[in-house]
Each structure stands twice: as structure tokens, then as C-alpha cells.
Amino acid sequence: MCLYRWYSRVLKKFKMQAANLMTLLNGYLGGTALFSCAGNRLGLAAVLIFLAALFDMFDGKLARRLKVESEFGKQLDSLCDAVSFGAAPAVLMNAALFHLYGFFGVLFSCIYLLCGVIRLACFNTAAQNGYFYGLPITAAGVLLAAAVYAIPYIPPYCFFFWILLLSVLMVTPFKMKKI
């Protein structure tokens, strides 16, 4: 009987932390993408952002399925998303192209980052009703990371428009059904 109670407690604790572990893996991959940018391994950084998106997609689903959603998990998810889909793609784009444009490159990268943070803050304070308002930062981060592969083929000014468009879409209050 005692072993059963121990097993039950351990299983309950594991269930409670499984989604948070996936969230932390998302954040770890985003942090590793930042360090990859610092080491000029830009292709690896983009791949790490894509992998972070997979963990981000499943952490919320796992929390809902296990019925362990929490305010802590919601805040942790937003902080990890700020790293993986805000900071990492902005630094990646800056390292890949925008550094050539000095102040304006940094300005556009920071506009993207700040719009992403604003979007996350709005998401955390809004009522959840099965819809996103604005482009989710995960989608914006993946789209920005994917754009790095197009740099040799597209004129540089297009990427300034692209990052600005993604920034504006994150803070524009259009309604999008959650998948």
C-alpha cells in the first residue's frame, strides 16, 4: 500500500512538470540558437529555432491533456518564447544581414524583439477563448528564421520590409483560430 502511494505521488509530480520540461527545452534551444549566432553558426541557429517551435507546440497541448495548466506554466512559456522566437530570430537576422547596416539593422531587429515582447504580454493578460489575437510570436520567429536561408537570393531591403511586417502583425489585433 505504501509503495502505491509513493508511486501515485511521483506520477502526479511528473505529470505536473512534464509540460514545464518541454517549455524549458524550448527555452534551452532558443538560448543555444543565440550562442550559435555568437559563434557564427547561423544555419544551426535557424534549425534550433525550428526545433524550439516543435517543443512550443507540444507543451501547451501536453499541459491541457494532463490537466496540469497553471499560471506558472503560462508565464514560463512566455519567457521561453521571448528567448526562442523573439531574441534568437532577431539576433540571427542581425548576424546574417542587418549588421551590415549598422544602426538601422539594430533598430529593425529591436523593433521586432519589442513587438514580440508586447505580443506576449498582451497574450498573458487577455482572456483565452480559443483564438489568438495577432500573429503568434512562434510563427513570426519561425518565418524570420526561415528568411535567413533566402538572403543570397533576395535583395537586402526586402528583409527590412519582412521583419517590419512580422513585427506589425504580432501587435495588430486581428483574430486567428488556434490550431
Per-domain boundaries in the chain: 2-177
Q: pLDDT value at position 115?
A: 97
pTM of the model: 0.89
Type of residue numbered 66: L
Q: pLDDT value at position 60?
A: 83
Q: Is the dihedral of CA 158, 162, 168, 173 positive or negative?
A: positive
Residue whose grid cell is 500573429? 135
Model confidence over 22-46: pLDDT tens digits? 999 999 999 999 999 999 999 999 9
Mean pLDDT, rounded, of the chain: 91
Model confidence over 57-89: pLDDT tens digits? 998 888 888 888 888 888 999 999 999 999 999
Which CATH topology does 2-177 take? Four Helix Bundle (Hemerythrin (Met), subunit A) (1.20.120)
